[in-house]
Amino acid sequence: MNSTLLCDVVVVGAGFAGLMCADRLSRLGYTVTIVEKAPAALAGTSSRNEGWLHAGTYHALSVRDRREAAAVAKRCRFGWEEIQRRFSECVEAEKGKAVAILPEAKLAESLSRWEEARVGHVRLSASQFGHIAEHVRVGADEAAFAVDDLGINTPMLAASLIAELRNRGVRILLGARILGRSDDLLHVATADEAFDLAHRFIVCAAGFETERACADLEIPPVQVRLWRSHLVTAPKVAPVSVFGVAPQQAAMINHGAWSIIGFNEDATLVDRPTFDVDPVIADRLEEAVRWRFPKADLSAARRTACVKVDYAVHENSVRSLNVRMLPVLDNAVVVLPGKMTEAPYSANVVASHVFEMLGQGGVTARPIDTYELTNQGS
Ligand SMILES: Cc1cc2nc3c(=O)[nH]c(=O)nc-3n(C[C@H](O)[C@H](O)[C@H](O)COP(=O)(O)OP(=O)(O)OC[C@H]3O[C@@H](n4cnc5c(N)ncnc54)[C@H](O)[C@@H]3O)c2cc1C
């Protein structure tokens, strides 16, 4: 016979979206069980990204619509602040050790966007830049700024988060297959045991496997788009992290003795999740790296590719920027976090929604919490 486990919320997926949602919900006092199909946490995109803790620097400039750009940048800064404050052990570089390079022609617009999104920046003079100039090429028409972006050790961040979750009593079922759902019971099996999870709410945070997970959970389907992009990992190519802000420029974040480098924009739509590397794109990326970092030794470079998801509001909507929480049932949501750095923000959105749906947990409601009920029909 299956063991029955009781919990308030089942979170499906132990990537950063799922872990952060479990964090918020357990802090609110809900009992949480995480169901992860892989034998270890962080099996999807969260362990194959650039480890760039965004300070809003890039997105404040790259997103065409100014208002949306500022919103993405502020969500990033929210995560950037929280992750540094709570998980300082995982931050890999000192503050002020990243440089953003932007075209002089766009300086006025860029500076006003950074001001609006409260993105920290200090213009670097040639002499301030001098100590890294031998490693980094800056064009005559470009300006360099010290910015707040950081590298983060993603496995260590996950380990710290998981330790906190376990201390708070969150149960994490690894290698767990979802077998089906009936009413408020989710049927799950690990290699050794089968469980019926009696729950009040489901949070689906399954990343690029969202569509499949919705089917397993027997909740209404959410269609996501899949975007593949590439990274190159090489022995450190410059002493500080450096990124240009134009689309086809290299964005490099240092992690100890290594640099992870991607294009700002190389995401292309794919029809299935894949880690396959497109050699043409990877060659172009290495060219962009060589241009910006003429001394880079790419002989030992490793090329990887991974997929991120977004939810297509309309055909041309901006990719990967739309943090989404989609309520698919009264007691189920699907969450797409946008960037890893935005996961703390999206977890807050999920926590507020669950709190509203599950009730106030023994706390007196405010007048505004009862306003809609008492004014229905009036
Ligand atoms: C190449 C690349 C570089 C990136 N670089 C950065 C960066 O530098 N900084 C940044 O902020 N963001 C970056 N991102 C985005 C970021 O990595 C993702 O937005 C984030 O990791 C997504 O987290 P997630 O938890 O939603 O998904 P995932 O990390 O994919 O986690 C989903 C989890 O759900 C599990 N799962 C799936 N289906 C089921 C099921 N049926 N049952 C149980 N478990 C299931 C999976 O095994 C997985 O562990 C990058 C993305 C890519 C592709």
In a domain, 263, yes or no: yes
Same domain, 118 and 12: no
Residues of the chain by 3-state class (helix, strand, coil), percent to 5: 35, 30, 35
Residue matched to tokens 């016979």: 1
Query: What letter represents residue 134's amino acid?
Result: E
The total of structural domains in the chain comes to: 2
Higher-pLDDT residue of 247, 29: 29
Model confidence at 360: pLDDT above 80: no
Residue 135: predicted pLDDT: 92
Same domain, 37 and 186: yes
Q: Assign residue 51 a region: left if phi > 0, alpha if psi is -120 to 50, beta otherwise?
A: left
Residue 311: predicted pLDDT: 80
Same domain, 201 and 60: no
State the closest ligand 1 atom to the C-alpha of 309, by its place in the atom list counted from 1: 19
Tell me the residue range of the domain where 293 lies. Answer: 52-152+225-310
In a domain, 116, yes or no: yes
Average pLDDT, stretch 296-316? Answer: 86
Model confidence at 377: pLDDT above 50: no
pLDDT band at 372 (very low <50, low <70, confident <90, very high): low
Same domain, 297 and 327: no
Same domain, 233 and 147: yes
Same domain, 281 and 238: yes
Domain boundary among 256, 275, 310: 310
Distance 209 CA to ligand 1 centre (A): 9
Closest CA to ligand 1's atom 38:
206
CATH number of 38's domain:
3.50.50.60
H or E segment to which residue 242 belongs: strand 241-244
Distance 95 CA to ligand 1 centre (A): 26
CA 246 – CA 185 distance, rounded (Å): 49
Best residue among 222, 340, 345 to mutate for probing ligand 1's pocket (most ligand atoms within 8 Å of CB) is: 340
Residue 378: predicted pLDDT: 39
Q: Assign residue 255 a region: left if phi > 0, alpha if psi is -120 to 50, beta otherwise?
A: beta
Domain boundary among 285, 310, 335: 310
Model confidence at 367: pLDDT above 90: no
pLDDT band at 185 (very low <50, low <70, confident <90, very high): very high
Same domain, 140 and 235: yes
Query: What does DSSP assign to residue 91?
Result: B
Residue 314: predicted pLDDT: 62
Nearest to 349 by CA among 12, 17, 11: 17
pLDDT digits 0-9 by tens, 73-93: 999 999 999 999 999 999 997
Average pLDDT, stretch 130-144? Answer: 91
Q: Which residues contact ligand 1 via a Cβ below 6 A?
A: 12-18, 35-38, 43-46, 49-52, 54, 178, 205-209, 212-213, 216, 229, 231, 262, 306-308, 337, 339-341
State the closest ligand 1 atom to the C-alpha of 335, by its place in the atom list counted from 1: 26
Same domain, 137 and 88: yes
CATH number of 62's domain:
3.30.9.10
In a domain, 277, yes or no: yes
Same domain, 275 and 188: no
pLDDT band at 321 (very low <50, low <70, confident <90, very high): low
CA 15 – CA 56 distance, rounded (Å): 22
Average pLDDT, stretch 272-300? Answer: 95
Same domain, 56 and 119: yes
Residue 52: predicted pLDDT: 97
In a domain, 344, yes or no: yes
Domain boundary among 284, 310, 336: 310
In a domain, 232, yes or no: yes
pLDDT digits 0-9 by tens, 165-176: 999 999 999 999
In a domain, 315, yes or no: no
In a domain, 316, yes or no: no
Model confidence at 268: pLDDT above 60: yes
Average pLDDT, stretch 341-352? Answer: 96
State the closest ligand 1 atom to the C-alpha of 304, by its place in the atom list counted from 1: 1
Same domain, 127 and 69: yes
CA 269 – CA 267 distance, rounded (Å): 7
Same domain, 139 and 269: yes
In a domain, 251, yes or no: yes
Residue 264: predicted pLDDT: 83
